Amino acid sequence: MKQAMIIINPVSGKEDALEHVRNVEELLDDAGYSVTVNETTKEGDATHFCITACEDSYDLVVSIGGDGTLHETINGLIDQDHRPKLGVVPLGTVNDFARALQIPLNPEEAIQTLTSTRVKNVDMGRLNGRLFANVVATGSLAETLSSVSSDDKSKFGALAYFKEGIKDLRNPAQPLVIHHDGETWEGQSPLFLAALTNSVGGFEKLAPDAAVDDGLLHCFIIKDLTILNTVTIGISLLLGNLKDHKDVVYFTAQNVSVHSVEPVKTNVDGEEGPPLPIELSTIPRHIQVIVPEGD
């Protein structure tokens, strides 16, 4: 019998989370799976559960929660000889990974997708030995974005990040040295972004050229921020032409390193990450994700 593991963050989606688990269990049971349910209670649980699923040769792992739960889950797949297919039921406030794969943001619709026969081989990013699914950001503005509250994310969605960024323009840019595929950029920047997908912070047009299986990091260096160009950068972001803005440096790469002479934090898949220096690379088509039936 096929084996499926459900990894659920019971805090995501409030009281509806466990109801969604019951619906997934029923669906997978009807599809011929033997189902195991694991609830996270602390940081690292989802990774541990997913490692167990790999070691026990499960056929499917379903992540039910937000981008943080998904980030932990995929880190259980790193360097595993056997990697189960991944199903995603988004319960978070942003859900960039689901957006990029056109997985429905409505949980009940996403649950029905789990029986789809369509599977997509999706790139993963590697950061200092860990995996990330969507984006790495660094610079003074990235530190600000890490402090966006869950309440604000729930109220304002993607605009919570924009609101917080406008509020904290007083933070100075920081000195960054960025090496990428044999080239170097050095200068002051309040924000560097490396995206694997088109959707970052709920903005689905941040990197419109990014595909989940192109093997590339789509990178943006913001050179300067004033109230005026923050507004114009925001407009460029919404229109999908951020890479063409005069105060933005855009490039694609397979390998990127970022250093600074100052202590600088990072934001990884929407959560606080390790401080600089960081080494980034892509792992092309590393995991199989169940996606909706389509063309």
In this structure, are residues 89 and 64 in contact, taking their beta carbons and an 8 Å threshold?
yes
Give Cα separations from 277 to 87, 191, 259 (angstroms): 33, 15, 5
Q: How many CA atoms lie within 13 A of 24 on its CB side?
A: 30
Which tokens in the block code for residue 195? 């995206």
Active site residues: 271
Q: What CA–CA distance (Å, rounded) separates 194 from 144?
A: 17
Q: What CA–CA distance (Å, rounded) separates 70 from 268?
A: 12
Q: What CA–CA distance (Å, rounded) separates 157 from 148?
A: 11
Q: Where are the alpha helices (DSSP H) in the chain?
A: 17-30, 45-55, 67-74, 96-100, 107-113, 140-146, 150-156, 159-167, 227-239
